[in-house]
C-alpha cells in the first residue's frame, strides 16, 4: 500500500474524495505498526470534523432481509438529502470482511448512489478488532461529510452488544410468521434495542406482521416497563413504513439531545472505547512476544489439565509481562 502524507489523507477525506476515504480506512485497518502510527495522526487531525452523524446500529434475525432493508432505508435517506455511510461488522469472518462484500449485489440501488458509501469492516476474527477499526471508520466517515452512519452487525453473540455500545440508536430487524414470535430472539438484544422493526409486512404477511407487532409490544411491556422501545412494521421490498420508522428514530434523538442524555452517552462511549483500546493493546502485546506466547501456551495447557490454578497462572503471566513490558510495548 502506497502511503500518503497526513495532510493528503486529511484533505482528501474532508474534500469528500472517495478514493482517499477508502485508502484512509484501509490505513486504519492495517495491522502494521508504521501504518497504525500514521493512522492515529490522521485521526487526530480529523477529530474536530467528527461527531456530527447519527450513528445507527442494525441487527436482525436470519432471513429478516437486512440487506434489502439497508438498501431501502439508505436510499430513502439519501432521497431526503442525507449522506449515508454503511459499515458491516462481522467478528466471525476475517476472510470475507463482512457480509456487505456479498450484499453489495443486493444493495444495488444504494451502492450506486453518489450520496452513499458502503464499506465492510473486517475485524481479523476478534471483537477487539470491532472496537479498533469500526469506531475509527465511523469517525473518518463523519469527517468525510456523512451525516448518517449505519453499522450492520452480521456476526452473532457479543457483537450486537458491542455495536449497540458504539452507536446512538440500535435497531433490531425481525420477521413474522416464524412460529413463536419470541423464539430465537436473544434477551440481551431486546434489552439494548431502541426499536424493533418487523420487516416484510406486505401482501399476505401483513396480518401476521401486525399480530407479531402486538406480541412484541406485550412482551416488551413486561420486560422493559420503564423504557419500552417502539415496535413498528415495514416492508423494505415495497418501501412502506420506512419514513415513519426514521421519523421515530429522529424523534428519539431529539428527546435525548434535549435532556442532555445524547451527549452523556457519547462521552461514556468514548471512555469505554479508550479502555477497550487499552485492553486490546495489552492482549496484542502479550501475543506478539515470542517468550510470552510460549509461556501462555504452556500455562493454558497446565490450567486445562488441572495442574495449575488459573489465578496462579494469571499472576505468573502478569509478572513476566511486567518484566518484559519495556520491550513488548514498543510493538503496540
Q: What is the CATH number of the domain that holds 307?
A: 1.10.287
Is 263 a member of any domain?
Answer: no
In angstroms, what is the C-alpha Rg of the chain? 22
Within 10 angstroms of residue 75's Cβ, the number of other Cβ atoms is 20
Residues 58 and 127 in one domain: yes
Strand order in the sheet with 169-175: 116-122, 84-90, 148-153, 54-60, 169-175, 195-199, 231-233
Coil vs helix vs strand at 194: coil
- Does 319 lie in the same domain as 231? no
Give the span between the Cα atoms of 82 and 207, in whole angstroms.
32
Span 255-273, average pLDDT: 94
Same domain, 310 and 212: no
109 located within any domain: yes
Top pLDDT among 105 and 201 is at 201
Q: How many CB atoms lie within 10 A of CB 69?
A: 26
Same domain for 119 and 8:
no
pLDDT value at residue 58: 93
* Number of structural domains found in the chain: 3
- Domain-embedded: residue 1: yes
DSSP state of 48: G
Asked if 28 and 70 sit in the same domain, the reply is: no
- Convert the pLDDT of each residue in 63-108 to its tens digit: 888 889 999 999 999 999 999 999 987 655 444 444 444 555 568 8
Residues 281 and 176 grouped into a single domain:
no
The confidence band for 155, taking pLDDT boundaries of 50, 70 and 90, is low
Q: 44 with 184, same domain?
A: no
| Structural domain that includes position 161 | 50-258
Say how far apart CA 236 and CA 63 lie, in whole Å: 13
Last residue of a domain, one of 258, 285, 319: 258
Round the average pLDDT of the chain to a whole number and report it.
86
Looking at the fold, whether 34 and 112 belong to one and the same domain comes out as: no
**CA distance linking residue 25 with residue 173, whole number of Å:** 28
Q: Is the domain of 8 the same as that of 93?
A: no
pLDDT value at 227 more than 90: no
What are the backbone angles phi and psi of residue 222, rounded to the nearest 5°?
A: -85, -40
Q: Establish if 236 belongs to a structural domain.
A: yes
How far apart, in whole angstroms, are the C-alpha atoms of residue 91 and residue 122? 7
Amino acid at each position: 500500500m502506497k502511503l500518503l502524507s497526513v495532510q493528503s489523507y486529511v484533505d482528501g477525506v474532508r474534500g469528500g474524495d472517495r478514493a482517499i476515504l477508502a485508502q484512509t480506512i484501509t490505513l486504519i485497518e492495517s495491522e502494521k505498526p508504521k501504518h497504525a502510527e500514521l493512522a492515529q495522526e490522521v485521526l487526530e487531525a480529523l477529530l474536530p470534523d467528527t461527531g456530527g452523524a447519527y450513528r445507527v446500529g442494525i441487527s436482525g434475525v436470519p432471513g429478516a432481509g437486512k440487506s434489502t432493508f439497508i438498501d431501502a432505508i439508505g436510499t430513502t435517506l439519501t432521497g431526503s438529502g442525507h449522506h449515508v455511510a454503511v459499515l458491516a461488522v462481522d467478528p466471525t469472518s476475517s476472510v470475507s470482511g463482512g457480509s456487505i462484500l456479498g450484499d453489495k449485489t443486493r444493495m444495488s440501488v444504494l451502492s450506486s448512489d453518489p450520496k452513499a458509501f458502503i464499506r465492510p469492516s473486517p475485524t481479523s476474527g476478534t471483537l477487539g478488532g470491532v472496537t479498533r477499526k469500526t469506531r475509527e471508520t465511523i469517525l473518518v466517515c463523519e469527517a468525510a461529510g456523512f451525516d448518517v452512519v449505519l453499522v450492520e452487525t452480521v456476526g452473532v453473540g457479543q457483537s450486537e452488544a458491542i455495536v449497540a455500545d458504539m452507536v446512538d440508536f440500535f435497531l433490531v430487524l425481525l420477521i413474522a410468521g416464524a412460529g413463536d414470535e419470541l423464539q430465537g430472539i436473544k434477551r440481551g438484544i431486546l434489552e439494548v434495542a431502541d426499536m424493533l422493526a418487523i420487516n416484510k409486512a406486505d401482501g399476505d404477511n401483513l396480518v401476521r406482521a401486525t399480530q407479531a407487532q402486538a406480541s412484541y409490544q406485550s412482551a416488551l411491556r413486561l420486560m422493559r416497563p420503564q423504557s419500552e422501545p417502539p415496535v413498528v412494521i415495514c416492508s423494505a421490498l415495497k418501501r412502506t413504513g420506512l419514513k415513519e420508522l426514521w421519523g421515530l428514530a429522529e424523534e428519539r434523538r431529539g428527546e435525548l439531545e434535549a435532556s442532555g442524555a445524547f451527549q452523556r452517552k457519547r462521552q461514556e462511549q468514548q471512555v469505554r472505547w479508550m479502555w477497550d483500546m487499552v485492553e486490546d493493546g495489552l492482549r496484542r502485546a502479550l501475543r506478539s512476544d515470542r517468550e510470552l506466547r510460549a509461556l501462555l501456551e504452556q500455562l493454558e495447557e497446565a490450567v486445562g489439565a488441572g495442574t495449575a490454578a488459573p489465578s496462579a497462572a494469571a499472576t505468573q503471566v502478569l509478572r513476566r509481562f511486567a518484566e518484559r513490558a519495556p520491550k513488548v510495548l514498543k510493538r503496540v
